[in-house]
Amino acid sequence: MVELEVPRDDERQHVPADFPAGAVPPRLPSLDPQLVDTLNALNRPRLALTLPLGERELLVRLDKGAEPVSPWIAIAASIGEAPAVLHVAHESLAVLTAHLALHRSLSECTPDQRALWLEYALLEWIEPLEEHLGQPIRLLGDAPESEAGLPIRLPLRLEVDGQACRLSLSLGVATARTLLPLLDEHCPCTPTSCSALPLPLQWIAGYQDLALAELRSLTPGDVVLLERPEMAVAVAGRLMIRVAEQRGGLHLAVPPAAWHGGDLDASPAPANNDNPQRRSDDMEDDPRKPAPPRLDTATLDRLPVRLVCELGRLELSLGEFRELDQGSVLPLSRPAENAVDIVVNGRHMGRGRLVEIGDSLGVQIVRLSSDE
């Protein structure tokens, strides 16, 4: 996971005006709203990249695993005029310099020697990258103690001959943004399938648009004329499926399709049916009318889902719920590090941590499973 190094500021704490007196508000990590899009773009699931190094090929991917066992070696670097810091594990140094057949490990060299030899070892990677960026890339030696101006850390995992090792690159925001087009070109996004995600399916009898005044004037006994949708089954609030009612349930008359104007939350296009009372299961295909487009990935990706962040969950019996009143205490406590469960359409999908985004509340994804 791409990380944002957030400096701790114990003096700064946003306290809501209506927060109870005497209570201690939670302290949340604070993110600059302008960084959110960059962090999200870097954190997308992506294909691995195969790179030659010497006579071997290394598989390089964004790392979502644990920290390496051995300590990091920090090496100062520059991309053009922008500073950067490369963090390399000891085993990573050995993998990256194996083709040089050095007499001793770079871990034992001085910082300047280490940077010089590592830059030479990685020329196969550095030179094409310099050509794409139009800027020189240099490894400079010992890294500075402070990385305050390098808030984004890009962790990488190297795999070769069944061996895995890790390194990471600390960057400034502007530098990270210049790398995004290269990532998109050579490591395209691979969205997770989320095939186990539940989607609400509704069998629609009919619908009608009302003015608020008309809705408020309705009383028991009033009758509302309904429009009968040609596609009578909605998925996630969008009319998509034409069905025929038969013994044993509803049968799909045609494959699910993306129907233009099928959003139940929007005003539908006026129907042009000769007989507005005809049933959807009695309608025949009109060869003169073009068939609706088949569902594709882009259409499915636009289906709305509800993401909920839960601090805790508690089950109460109906009797216990009825006994709740002002001043009642629910046996729930805030989890450590402001951790939350991520629930999508009622299904647990992962974990996150609460963060401040300017004056707003956000959640940073810690773990996300597409098919839990």
**Would you say 42 and 154 are in contact if contact means Cβ atoms under 8 Å apart?**
yes
DSSP, collapsed to helix, strand or coil, labels residue 179 as: helix
- The identity of residue 9, as a single letter, is D
- Flag the least confident range among 95-99, 121-125, 305-309: 305-309
pLDDT at 342 over 80: yes
Q: Name the β-bridge partners of 83.
A: 78
Write down the domain spans for the chain.
Answer: 3-10+41-186, 307-368
* CATH no. for 3-10+41-186: 3.40.1550
Distance CA 253, CA 279 (A): 13
208-217: long-range contacts at Cβ-Cβ below 8 A with a sequence spacing of 24 or more?
A: 209/267, 209/268
Mean pLDDT of 139-161: 86
DSSP result, 272-301: --S-TT--GGGPPP-TTSPPPPBP-HHHHH
Chain-wide mean pLDDT for the chain?
78
Are 229 and 280 within 8 A, CB to CB?
A: yes
* Paired residues of 62 in beta bridges: 156
Looking at 3.40.630.10, 3.40.50.720, 2.30.330.10, 3.30.1050.10, the CATH number of the domain 307-368 comes to 2.30.330.10
What does the pLDDT look like over 229-251, one tens digit per residue? 776 788 887 777 788 877 778 78
Taking the C-alpha atoms of residue 307 and residue 335, their distance in angstroms, rounded to an integer, is 19
Chain segment 249-286, per-residue pLDDT in tens: 878 887 777 665 566 665 544 444 444 334 444 444 45
Q: Give mean pLDDT, residues 72-98.
A: 90
Output the six-digit token pair for 120.
């030479």
Q: What percent of the chain has pLDDT over 70?
A: 78
The answer to whether 154 touches 60, Cβ cutoff 8 Å, is no
Predicted pLDDT of residue 98: 87
Q: What is the pLDDT of residue 19?
A: 47
